[in-house]
Amino acid sequence: MEDHANLAARWLAGAGSIVALTGAGVSAESGIPTFRGEGGLWRTYRAEDLATPSAFARDPILVWEWYRYRQGICAAAAPNAAHAALARIEERAPGFTLITQNVDGLHRRAGSRNLVEVHGDIFRARCTVCGANRELTGAEEETIPACPGGHTMRPDIVWFGETLPENAIAKAHRASASADLFLVIGTSAIVYPAASFPLIAKDRGARLVEVNPEETPLTPLADLSFRGKAAEILPLLVDRAFSRPVEDS
Ligand code: BJW
């Protein structure tokens, strides 16, 4: 672990273009449940009932109630040491791109700015008719928000079977294709197309570093795998990379 940490720190300090892909595990230590695994949302709720266009068409009140409940959890949560470490990488490595599957807003609250949110934002609603998009403050009275034209709005989230925002995909693809170091943090790496970004980077010769307490389908491809919590491992790597002079890799 010690040697691996030093090596990863050297790669971080020396890389010209760093990209990270994060998933629900990065927010686990902020108290936000993951989707799969122990305590995961999909262990209690069926995705088909809550996170698909047909679920919303069938019962928009149920879907909104579930998202309001989760907004409450996200609003009460605070960014953890992993979010802070990623924001610090951006300060030190200006070309850094952070691709997140998370909709909780914690990366932004931690200070990350070059951020690509590929699955949407739980604090926004989008009109199902005109596409109008607005922030939800939590103070709204109505269960189902409406746009100024009176049409039903939905959570601005990418559900199963839906395409991801075109701009986000293009930016994530571009960054992945030109990365020379790609960090995969706290994701089961089974949901596509997000899980393809590290594969694109690896294909183009990038080094792949994974941080996750569990193995994932990407583990066999990783140049280094850290089996641990993001909020413990990432600050360690970032401290080593940027707090002291680094020898050549
Ligand atoms: C820690 C930790 C700690 C714990 N520290 N780590 C190719 C093949 C087969 C199917 C498909 C395919 N391409 C597309 C599909 C269909 C589908 C898909 O991928 N399905 C797979 C499940 C098989 N993809 C889609 O439908 C996507 N759209 C699409 O592809 O459009 C084109 C198209 C249309 C029609 C047909 C075909 C193609 C859209 C995907 C949208 C995903 N949406 C969700 C829900 C959002 C709703 C919401 O938030 O309410 O996004 S699903 C859910 O999974 C959420 C997450 O962003 C996403 C990824 O999950 P994540 O983040 O990896 O979380 P977990 O829980 O899975 O993992 C947590 C990890 O953290 C674990 O590994 C832990 O070990 C770890 N961990 N504690 C570090 N402390």
Determine the residue of 63, 126, 160, 196 to mutate for testing ligand 1's pocket, defined as the one with the most ligand atoms within 8 A of the Cβ atom: 160
Q: How far apart are CA 69 and CA 221, in angstroms?
A: 37
pLDDT at 246: 46
Q: Which of 232, 178, 186 is nearest to 209 (CA)?
A: 186
Beta carbons of 9 and 240 less than 8 angstroms apart: yes
Tell me, yes or no, if 119 is annotated catalytic.
yes
Q: Which of 117, 150, 156, 151 is nearest to 135 (CA)?
A: 156
Q: What is the H or E stretch that residue 155 is in?
A: strand 153-157
pLDDT at 79: 98
Distance 113 CA to ligand 1 centre (A): 23
Q: What share of the chain is helix, strand, coil (3-state, %, to 5)?
A: 40, 15, 40
Q: Which of 93, 130, 131 is nearest to 112 (CA)?
A: 93
Q: Which of 87, 46, 97 is nearest to 234 (CA)?
A: 87
> CB of 45 closer than 6 A to ligand 1?
no
> CB of 97 closer than 6 A to ligand 1?
no
Q: Which residues, in sequence order, are CB contacts of 173 under 8 Å at separation 6+?
A: 197, 200
Mean pLDDT for each consecutive 10-residue tract of the chain (249 residues)? 90 96 98 90 82 93 92 96 98 94 98 98 96 85 88 96 96 98 98 98 98 98 98 98 64
pLDDT at 243: 86
Q: How far apart are CA 195 and CA 70, in angstroms?
A: 24
